[in-house]
Structure 1
């Protein structure tokens, strides 16, 4: 098949996406397909030009999306591909748009009885009024320390930790530079567990072995440096040591999140497991990092799937979708 691999994009995750795209394109070629790399630059323009990109996309059998964050993971590209009537890997417009918006994701999950990280959304004038933000946190019974993050985005860009009014104001201002909606959430002390969800061509959906994050102790939390710096001491333990009961609960919840949001193809669901052993959903990534060293392929490697095996499943599932 001819397989387009779209990478880059205008989000802060541009360079992460390029690494994901290269890994995907190499795997596509190793499977015997023809990879057609298509790059979107940091201004959001197609490097080949829009009209040539449309011609190339219409000529392929399927599109693998290696984009992360806004303009790629938020449903905009998915809608564009729907208009071109080209099959693509991953969730459609609605699930992609909801999945990238952390506030909306948690509102939907909360409405379905799925526990999520407690917090509030700040918007508009609230992002510059620290006293109003603190009052909103009090009403939600959320106390310091808190984590502050852009509502739409990933890779921990714009994420900060606040322990008082001054650090809260600084963290909110930094997050607001990337997104007008800012989330302020309770710091969850406990284990960070990720689960990889994969849909197969026959329609079944499975969860890979759990991964536990032991972040670089030199970093304040699992930030972008801890994730991507080559010298980072961050460790990923997979499979994570879990009791059978906790493992079953996490698997069931990950599948429920995938179904409730209407996801397709793949997703990574991230959990916090506090000391009481009751997990809460932190977020979902409908297009998770996909470099050979990323969490998603690591988890499936522990289940016996090579990187190319996972790409093969994604391609076949996308083509098999009605």
Structure 2
């Protein structure tokens, strides 16, 4: 068989999911599906409905765009059911249509899991893919789980000597059993504070709390997304700086020029609307207007965070640059968004690596690595 007759690698683009970031996952997938090279790859869009069903999706990028706060994309679960079965040498997709016996769609070479939040970005899907013996884009089980849990991330980064914002963890049990103790620990941080779900993203469920009288409502808002809540000290006067990290085919890592987020309008912080709705007044300085030595420090620390967490493929690292010049790690995102307004692809484009090149690099990294322990 000649090289021209070799079958194209099959890429299953998986999106949607059970988390509160379902919409963002759909929008991310729309951008990737519109860009991936169909001449080089056989692409299978697979949607995960909010009830957990895996279905064949049509993958139309236009249907996956965020148009407004009232027009949000979703996987409705109406397609034929899909399962991923382990077979010798990899995995295959099996389709179950109503009134018909299951049929094998074919083998899968790489899964591109464009899932954000729990049940997708947190190591759960990565574990499923490892069990199935199929390669996939992005970090493995442990790094995904660490990156998803902001409190655990802080523990890992502290062990690596990397500074973070002071914080307190409040579990659902803590809050029920001894609310007074929780309030005292939070008060020690000094108001205002930010209250956020520990294992969520896209700025969902986050509240700025100016005093103790606002705390209970903020805890309740965060717990709607995650029973484990992180309360962080307010980084007064901080500039919000982000940096992208990408694995290299030789095993090393590359970093982008940093960007700065400037939130305008009525937004006090970088919330969902400021991030994803195009009419909002958030501005981005790309590259960030920073001294050369600060840029170098951001890029170096981003690579250190990536390695400390054990990431693979890609990640976005967020920082607070304090008025004193101190650089604090805010968080790491192991599957950053790929929507048109997402920072990760924008930073790479500004660093000379365009969106199609980025998608291709991620697929090639996944094809090149082994499954299992590495």
TM-score band, normalised by the shorter chain?
Answer: over 0.9
For the residues of structure 1 that align with 2:313 and 2:23, how far apart are their CA atoms? 23
SS at match of 1:29: coil
Q: C-alpha displacement at 1:293, in angstroms?
A: 2.5
Deviations 1:1-20 (A, max 9, x none): 21110000011111110111
SS at match of 1:319: helix
2:69 pairs with 1:20: no
Equivalent in 180, 184, 203 of residue 227 of structure 2: 180
SS at match of 1:21: helix
TM-score of the superposition, structure 1-length normalised?
0.95
Which blocks of at least 5 consecutive residues in structure 2 are unaligned? 1-8, 57-79, 86-91, 95-105
Aligned to 2:273: 225
Aligned to 2:118: 70
2:312 pairs with 1:264: yes
CA contact (8 A) 1:100 1:152 kept: yes
Aligned to 1:32: 40
| Bigger Cα displacement from structure 2, 191-200 vs 21-30 | 21-30
CA contact (8 A) 2:257 2:295 kept: no
Q: C-alpha displacement at 1:50, in angstroms?
A: 5.8
CA contact (8 A) 1:5 1:64 kept: yes
Deviations 1:65-96 (A, max 9, x none): 11100111000100111111111010000000
Q: C-alpha displacement at 1:32, in angstroms?
A: 2.9
Aligned to 1:143: 190
SS at match of 1:59: strand
For the residues of structure 1 that align with 2:298 and 2:30, how far apart are their CA atoms? 31
Q: C-alpha displacement at 1:252, in angstroms?
A: 1.3
Cα RMSD of the aligned pairs, angstroms, is 1.6
Aligned to 2:77: none
Higher-helix-fraction structure: 1
Aligned to 1:201: 249
Larger Rg, first or second structure (1 or 2) = 2
Which blocks of at least 5 consecutive residues in structure 1 are unaligned? none
Q: C-alpha displacement at 1:303, in angstroms?
A: 1.2
Aligned to 2:210: 163
Deviations 1:206-247 (A, max 9, x none): 111111001133112111111112210111111101112211
Aligned to 1:133: 182
TM-score of the superposition, structure 2-length normalised?
0.82
For the residues of structure 2 that align with 1:117 and 1:228, how far apart are their CA atoms? 25
Aligned to 2:59: none
SS at match of 1:282: strand
CA contact (8 A) 1:202 1:317 kept: no
CA contact (8 A) 1:9 1:67 kept: yes
1:1-322 to 2 correspondence within 5 Å? 1-29=9-37, 32-48=40-56, 52-54=83-85, 55-56=92-93, 59-128=107-176, 130-138=179-187, 141-189=188-236, 190-322=238-370
CA contact (8 A) 1:208 1:303 kept: yes
SS at match of 1:47: strand
Q: C-alpha displacement at 1:309, in angstroms?
A: 0.6
SS at match of 1:56: strand
For the residues of structure 2 that align with 1:66 and 1:285, how far apart are their CA atoms? 12
